[in-house]
Amino acid sequence: MQSPAEIVPHSGGVIGVSWLMIALPLLGAAILLLGGRRTNKWGHFLGVAMSLGAFVVAVLSFMELLGLDPDQRRRGFELFEFIPGMVNLGMLIDPLSISFALLITGVGSLIHIYSVGYMSHDRDRRRFFAYLNLFVAAMLLLVLSDNYVGLFIGWEGVGLASYLLIGFWQHKPSAATAAQKAFIVNRVGDFGLLIGIFTIWTTFGSLAFGDLTHEVTGQASQGTLTAIGLLLLLGACGKSAQLPLQSWLLDAMEGPTPVSALIHAATMVTAGVYLVVRSGAFFEAAPTAQLVVTIVGVATLLAGAIIGCAKDDIKKGLAGSTMSQIGYMMLGAGLGPAGYAFAIGHLITHGFFKANMFLGAGSVMHAMNDEVDMRRYGALFPVMKITAVTFIVGYLAIIGFPLLSGYYTKEGIIETAMHHNAILGWLAVLGAGLTGFYMSRMVFMTFFGKKRWADDAHPHESPAVMTWPLIILAIGSIGLGAFLVLGNRFMTFLSPAVGLPADVPEPHVFGVGPAALATLALVAAGAAFAWFRYGAAQVPALAPRGSFLTTFARRDLYGDALNEALLMRPGQWLTRIAVFFDNRGVDGLVNGLAAGIGGTSGRLRRVQTGYVRSYALSILFGAAAVVGALLYVGNI
Amino acid sequence: MPWLSILMAVPVLGAVGVALLPKGSDKLAKQLALAVSLVVLALTVAMAVQFSPNGNRFQFEEKYAWIPSFGVHYGVAVDGIALVLIALSAILVPIVVLASWHDAEGATRLDLKSEAVPPKRSAKTYFALLLVLEAMMIGVFAATDIFLFYVFFEAMLIPMYFMIGSYGGVQRSYAAVKFLLYSLFGGLLMLVAVIALYVVAEKNTFMFPELVGAIQDPTTQKWLFAGFFIAFAIKAPLWPFHTWLPDAAAQAPAGAAVLLVGVLDKVGTYGMLRFCLELFPDASKFFTPLVIVLSVVGIIYGAIVAIGQTDMKRLIAYTSISHFGFIAMGVFAMTQNAQSGATLYMVNHGFSTGALFLVAGFLIYRRGSAQIADYGGVQSVAPLLAGAFLIAGLSGLSLPGLAPFVSEFMVLIGTYERYAVPAIIGATGVILAAIYILWMYKRTMNGPTAEPVKGFTDLNGREKWVVAPLIAMIVALGFFPKPLLDVINPAVDQTLTNAQVTDKQPVSTVAEKKGAGQ
Amino acid sequence: MTTHYLVLSALLFAIGGAGVLIRRNAIVVFMCVELMLNACNLAFVTFARQHGNLDGQLIAFFVMVVAAAEVVIGLAIIVMIFRTRRSASVDNANLLKY
C-alpha cells in the first residue's frame, strides 16, 4: 500500500502556464459569443484552433511532467485568491489530472473538427462552437483545479454547457425540455456535492486536495467520513447518470450528435468517476461508502445494459451503453487503489471508442436525413465503408474483443471486482454478456441485413473532415488499452496521484482466469443471439410490442414514470397548494385585516350624522366625563 | 471633504433641477437625471478608493448637532458593509435611469392596447423622484445616528410610493398603498423601539456607536429587538411578512422594481446586521432559532411559490423572497463566513435581480404583457435579449462563476458550521432555483416562436448599455469577489465582536498544520 | 359671599346648554351660546373678585371680544343659510356628514 505523493509547489515551465488550457477555449467562447454575426465566417476555425491550442499545452505539460521523478509529479500552484480565508483558485497538474486533460483536449479537438462538417448546414454553427469551447474550458477547470470549489465551478460549468448544447435546437420543445431536465437532475446531485463540500470544510478546515491527505482524513470519525463519501457519491451520480439520477442522460440525446459524443459519452459524464477517484482519501477511509459506490456502479451497469437492449433509436442505445460503461468505471473506482487505474483507464479507452461510435452514428444519421431509428437502417456497410469499419472497431472494443482497448480495461475492472467480492464480479460479467448482445444488435441492424431505408434516403459516405476523426479514434480504440494496461504502465503512472494497492496485480496479456473466460463466453453468446434475432432474421420496420421485459427496458426501467409519480406530481401539487396558501392564506390574512379595519371604520363613521345638536350632546357628555374623571382622581 | 453629505446633496439638487425644467422638456430631464446619477457614481468611486479597509471602522465621519435637547445628530459615516451597499445604489441608479427611458411614456408608442403598460405620465417627475430616492438610499446606509436612520427609513417610502402609485401597472394604487401601509406599520414599531432605546439607555444620544452595549437587561433587549426586527423583517421581507413585495414589484415599473428589491429591501437585512445584532446581542442569540426557521421557511416557500407563478415579475419577486431568506440566515448564523457572505449577497442580489427585472421589463415593453404564457420562442427572434435573460436567470440560480454563487456558498457554508440542518434544508433551494428559473426560461424563450413574439426586435443600443454593466459586474464578481470581501470582512469582524460571538473551529488538524507551515 | 354669583352663573350656563341642545332655530341656538359665554364671564368676574386680582376680569374682556367676533361671523353664516335654504333650522343643515 502506497499513499499518493505530496503536492510540490511549482513555478515556471509549460506547467506554469498550464492555465492557458482553460483560458484559450474560454477566450474562444467569449469571442464567438460577444462577436456575434461578424464571426460567423471564421468562428468554427477559431473554435477548433482554441481547442487544439489547449491540446498542445496539455501535451507539452504532459511531457514536462514525464521528465520529472515520479514522486515529484504532483505539481500545484496558486492562481489567485478566491474567497479570502477559505479557498484560493489554483492548478493541480498531476498524472490523474493530465490524463483527463489529454483526453478532453484530444478527443475534444477531434470532435471539434468533426463538427465543422457535421454542423456545416446549421445557421447557428458559430454559437455551437462557442458552447463547445465553453464546455472544454469548464471541463478542464473541473479536472485541473486543486480544490473542491474550483472543481465545483467547473462541475456546474460543464452542466451549463451541457444544458446549452442539449437545448441547442431550442425551437424543438423536446430539446428544450431535455436540456432543462438534465440541468435540474444534475442539480440534485450538485446539492449532495455541496453538502459534502460543507462537511469537508467544517470537519477539516480546508478544501484544497493537497491538505486532505489520507493521514488527515484518518482523524475524522467513521460516520463523518461515510457521510462525506455518500454525499460526494450523490454528486457523482448526478453528473455521471448513475442510478438513481440516471434519467436525464437518455433524453440528453436530443442534442446534436457531436455533443452526445463529447459531453454525454467521452468526458462530462465521467466527471463523477474523477470525483470519486480524486476523493480517494475519503472513500478509502470509509468502507461503507466504498461499498455503496460499487453497488451503484453494478446496478447502473446492468440497468444501462438492459435499456440498451431494447432501444431502436441508435443514439439512445449508445446512451444506455454509456450509462452501463460508466457503471463499470464507478465499480472500479469503488474498489480503491487497485481499481483506480482500471477505472480511469477504461474511462480513457471508453472516451475513444464511444466517441468513435457516437460520431459514427452521427455520420450515419447525416447520411440518412437525420433518421435515428435503426429499424429504418440496414445494409449500410457497402455505402459507407469508413464509417462502418470504424464503428465496428469501436464495437469490438466495447464488447471486449481480445487485445482491443476495451478488453484490457474492462477485464481489469471485472477481475479486480472478482477479487474484492465475487457477487459484484459475476454481476459485472453478466453485464459484459448483455453488452455483447445489445452492441451486436446495433451493428447488425445498422450495417447488415436488408435495406429498410425511407424512400427518399440516399446514403453516402461523409466528407473527409468527418471521417478522419473517426479513423484516428478507431486507432485509439484498437491500441490504447494494451498500451495502458500491459506492464501496469498506467497504474504506475497514476500512482503518485492516487496511490498503489498493497498487492499490485500481475499484468496479463490474454487474461486466462475463469472470469475472463466466462466473460468471453457470455459475450460470444450474446453476439450470437443478436445475430439470430437481428442479423440472420428479418427485422420488422415497426417495433413489435414485445414482452413485459422489452417494454420495461424500452421505458427506461420506468425511471421517468417513477420520477413523475414520486417527485413531479407531488411537486406540482405542492406548488399549487403553496400558491393558493400564499394568495388566500398569508395574503388573505393581511387583506382580511385590512378589510376588517375598513369595515369597522365604515360603521364607525355613521356616528357623524351631520346634526349639530347631536354633536353638541356628545360634547356635553364628553365634558361631563372629563369633569367626573377629574373629580374622581382629585378625590383619591 | 464631507463626502457623504455631498453624495446626498448632488442627487437632491439634481432632482430639484429636473423638477424645475419647463414643461415638455422630457428628453432634457432624462439626460440631466442620467448625468446627475453618473456624477454620483463617480463621486462614490472617488470615495470608495479612499476607504481603507483596515483603518477605523467608521470613516468619512460627519457629526453635527441637530436637535440638541434630545441628543439627535446629523451623523453620517460608513464602514465596509455600508460602503458596498452605497456603491450598489450608486451603480444601479444610472442603469435604472437608462432602462426607464420610456417607462413614463405609457403604451403610446406601441400598437398594443394592454393593461400591463401604464398610461402616459410626466417623465420629469419620475426622474426627479428617482434622484430623491437615490439620496435617501445613500442616507439610510450612511446614517450613524439611529434617529436619522429612522427618518431616512421612513422618508424613503415616499418617492417609492409615488413611483409605484403613479407609474405602475393596472393595480398600481392597491400595490402602492399596501407597500406603504406595511412599511409604515413596521416603521412605527421601530419608532417606538428607537424612543425606548433612547430612554432606557439614558445616554442622551441617538448615536449608534455610543449606544452599542448600552442595554444590558435581557428582557429590555428582547422587547427592543422585537421592535427593530419586525420593521426590518417587513422591509426585507422575511416570511411571513412578504406578501406586499410581489404586488409592489409586479405593479412597479421595472426600474422602480429594481431599486425596490435591489436596494430598498436591503435596508431590512442591513438593519438586522447593523442594529439588531450589535445593539441587542443577547436578544439576537435568544431569537436566532426563530429567525433561522423563518429564513429557511422563506427560502423553500419563496422558491416553491415562485415555481407556481404565471406572471414574470411576480415570479422574480418570489425568487427574491427566497434569496432574502438566505441573507437573513447568513446574518443570524453569526459566523464570519455566513455574515460576509450575507453582505456580499446583498450586493450580488442587487445586480442579479436587477438584471432579471430589467430584461423582463424589456420583454414586457415589447409584448405588453407580463404573463409567461404570452411568450414563447423569443430566442429565435431576439437571441441577445434571450441571452441576457439567461445569464441574469443563471445568476439568479447561483451558477458558479457568477457572483451570487460566491455569496450563497459562503452563507451556506458559514451556516453549516453552526447550524447544519437549516443549511442542508436551505441548500435544497439550489434545486428549486434551477426549476423556477429554467422553467420560466423555457416557457418564454424556447420552443416554436409565438405569433405576437415574431415582431420582436433584439436589444437596441440603449438596452445593451443597460445590460452590459450588470452582466460585467456579475461575471467579474463571480470570479474575483476579493476586492469586496476585503472591504466587508473587517466590518463583519467588528460586528461579530460587538455581538460577542466567535467562530467554531474545525475538528481536524489541517488548520493547525497550515498555521505551523506559515 | 360670592357663592350666589357662582350659582347664578351655573344656572345661566345650564339654561344656555339646554337651549343649544333642544332648540332648532339657529338664532335661538346662537343666543344660547351667547348666554353660556356670558355665564362664563360672570364666573370669571366672580373669581376675580374672590381672589382679589384682575386675571378673571382680563379674561372676561377676551371672551367678550371673541364673542363679538363670533357674532359677526356666525350671524353672517346664519343669514346666508337662511337665504339659500329658506330655513333657519339647524337640523336642516346636515349636509356635512359621513
Cα A551 to chain centroid distance, Å, stands at 26
Give the residue-averaged pLDDT of A36-44.
85
Return the H-helix or E-strand segment holding A88: strand A87-93
**Domain parsing of chain B, residue ranges:** 3-506
Evaluate the CA torsion angle B230, B231, B234, B235 in order and state its sign.
negative
Q: How far apart are CA B367 and CA B371, in angstroms?
A: 10
> How far away is chain C from the Cα of A587, in angstroms, using its nearest Cα?
30
Q: How far apart are CA B435 and CA B451, in angstroms?
A: 26
Residue C47 lies in domain: 3-85
Q: How far apart are CA B189 and CA A565, in angstroms?
A: 47
> How far away is chain A from the Cα of C92, in angstroms, using its nearest Cα?
8
The CATH number given to whatever domain includes residue C37 is 1.10.287.3510
Could you say which of A172, A575, A587 has the minimum Cβ distance to residue B307? A575
Q: Which of B304, B315, B443 to mutate to test the interface with A (most CBs of A within 10 A)?
A: B304
Is any Cβ of chain A less than 8 angstroms from the Cβ of C93? yes
Specify the range with the lowest mean pLDDT, choosing from A591-595, A615-619, B157-161, B167-171.
Answer: B167-171
In which band, very low, low, confident or very high, does the pLDDT at B197 lie, cut at 50, 70 and 90?
Answer: very high
Touching partners of B (3+ C-beta pairs < 8 Å)? A
pLDDT of residue B510: 56
What does the H/E/C string look like for B229-281? Answer: HHHHHHHCCCCCCCCHHHHHHHHCCHHHHHHHHHHHCHHHHHHHHHHHHHHCH
Contact B401 A153 (CB under 8 A): yes
In this structure, is residue C90 part of a structural domain?
A: no
Q: How far apart are CA A196 and CA A289, in angstroms?
A: 13
Q: How far apart are CA A252 and CA A358, in angstroms?
A: 13
Residue A70 phi/psi, 5-degree rounding, is -55, -40
pLDDT of residue A453: 79
Q: How far apart are CA A493 and CA A507, in angstroms?
A: 14
Q: How far apart are CA B495 and CA B332, in angstroms?
A: 12
- The per-residue pLDDT for range A133-181, each reduced to its tens digit, is 999 999 999 999 999 999 999 999 999 999 999 989 888 888 988 999 9
Cβ pair A156, B400 in contact under 8 A: yes
Radius of gyration of chain B from its Cα atoms, rounded to whole angstroms: 22
What residues of A are in contact with residue C14 (Cβ under 8 Å)? none
3-state secondary structure of B371: strand
What residues of A are in contact with residue B430 (Cβ under 8 Å)? 187, 190-191, 194
The average confidence (pLDDT) of chain A is 87
Contact C94 A610 (CB under 8 A): yes
pLDDT of residue A527: 84
Which has the higher per-residue pLDDT, B319 or B456?
Answer: B319
In which band, very low, low, confident or very high, does the pLDDT at B516 lie, cut at 50, 70 and 90?
Answer: very low
In which band, very low, low, confident or very high, does the pLDDT at B404 lie, cut at 50, 70 and 90?
Answer: very high
Give the best-scoring range by mean pLDDT among A77-91, A397-411, B38-52: B38-52
- The per-residue pLDDT for range A474-495, each reduced to its tens digit, is 888 888 888 888 777 888 888 8
- The per-residue pLDDT for range A84-128, each reduced to its tens digit, is 888 889 999 999 999 999 999 999 999 999 888 888 888 888 899
Cβ pair B39, B10 in contact under 8 A: yes
Q: Residue A303: how many CB atoms within 10 A of its CB?
A: 23
Count helices and strands (H / E) in chain A.
27, 3
As given in the structure block, the three cell numbers for residue A100 are 483527463
pLDDT of residue B455: 83
Cα A348 to chain centroid distance, Å, stands at 15
Identify which of B134, B130, B157 has the alpha carbon closest to the alpha carbon of residue B231: B157
| C-alpha separations of B256 from B104, B371, B472 in Å | 11, 19, 22
| Strand ranges for B369-423 from DSSP E | none
In this structure, is residue C30 part of a structural domain?
A: yes
What residues of C are in contact with residue A619 (Cβ under 8 Å)? none
Specify the range with the lowest mean pLDDT, choosing from A142-156, A511-525, B375-389.
Answer: A511-525
Q: Which of A612, A618, A620 to mutate to test the interface with C (most CBs of C within 10 A)?
A: A612
- The per-residue pLDDT for range A559-613, each reduced to its tens digit, is 778 888 888 888 888 888 888 888 888 888 888 988 999 999 989 888 888 888 8
Identify which of A459, A442, A464 has the alpha carbon closest to the alpha carbon of residue A322: A442
In which band, very low, low, confident or very high, does the pLDDT at B108 lie, cut at 50, 70 and 90?
Answer: very low
Return the H-helix or E-strand segment holding B65: strand B59-67
Q: What percent of chain B has pLDDT over 70?
A: 94
Task: Tell whether the model's pLDDT for residue B201 goes beyond 90.
Answer: no
Overall number of domains in chain C: 1
The label of the residue with cell 407580463 reads B370
**Strands B59-67 and B72-78, sheet pairing:** antiparallel
Q: What percent of chain B has pLDDT over 90?
A: 62
Cβ pair A417, A425 in contact under 8 A: yes
Task: Tell whether the model's pLDDT for residue A528 goes beyond 90.
Answer: no
Q: How far apart are CA C27 and CA C74, in angstroms?
A: 9
Q: What percent of chain A has pLDDT over 70?
A: 98
Contact A212 B510 (CB under 8 A): yes
Cβ pair A339, A90 in contact under 8 A: no
In this structure, is residue C98 part of a structural domain?
A: no
Could you say which of C90, C95, C98 has the minimum Cβ distance to residue A613? C90
- The per-residue pLDDT for range B408-437, each reduced to its tens digit, is 999 999 999 899 999 999 999 999 999 999
pLDDT of residue B117: 57
Cβ pair A315, A175 in contact under 8 A: no
In this structure, is residue C97 part of a structural domain?
A: no
Task: Tell whether the model's pLDDT for residue B390 goes beyond 60.
Answer: yes
CA atoms within 13 A on the CB side of A343: 32
How big, in percent rounded to 5, are the helix, strand and coil portions of chain C?
80, 0, 20
- Residue type (1 letter), B491: A
Could you say which of A605, A613, A617 has the minimum Cβ distance to residue C98? A605
Give the relative orientation of helices B336-367 and B482-498 as an angle to the nearest 10 degrees. Answer: 130
Q: How far apart are CA A547 and CA B513, in angstroms?
A: 62
Q: What's the maximum distance between 2 C-alpha atoms anywhere in chain B?
A: 72
DSSP H helical segments within A263-336, as ranges? Answer: 271-278, 280-283, 287-310, 314-333
Instruction: For residue A184, give the chain B residue with the closest CA.
Output: B434
What residues of C are in contact with residue A612 (Cβ under 8 Å)? 29, 90-91, 93-94
Q: How far apart are CA A564 and CA A574, in angstroms?
A: 14
Q: How far apart are CA A30 and CA A19, in angstroms?
A: 16
Q: How far apart are CA A131 and CA A126, in angstroms?
A: 9
Is any Cβ of chain A less than 8 angstroms from the Cβ of C15? no
Q: How far apart are CA A129 and CA A111, in angstroms?
A: 11
ipTM of this complex prediction, to 2 decimal places: 0.91
Q: How far apart are CA A305 and CA A321, in angstroms?
A: 6
Contact C90 A611 (CB under 8 A): yes
What residues of C are in contact with residue A613 (Cβ under 8 Å)? 20-22, 24, 29, 90-91
The angle subtended at Cα B64 by Cα B62 and Cα B70, nearest 5°, is 130
Q: What percent of chain A has pLDDT over 90?
A: 27
pLDDT of residue A330: 92
The label of the residue with cell 400591463 reads B116
Specify the range with the lowest mean pLDDT, choosing from A171-180, A308-317, B109-118, B179-188.
Answer: B109-118
Task: Tell whether the model's pLDDT for residue A512 goes beyond 70.
Answer: no
What residues of C are in contact with residue A620 (Cβ under 8 Å)? 17, 21
Task: Tell whether the model's pLDDT for residue B87 goes beyond 80.
Answer: yes
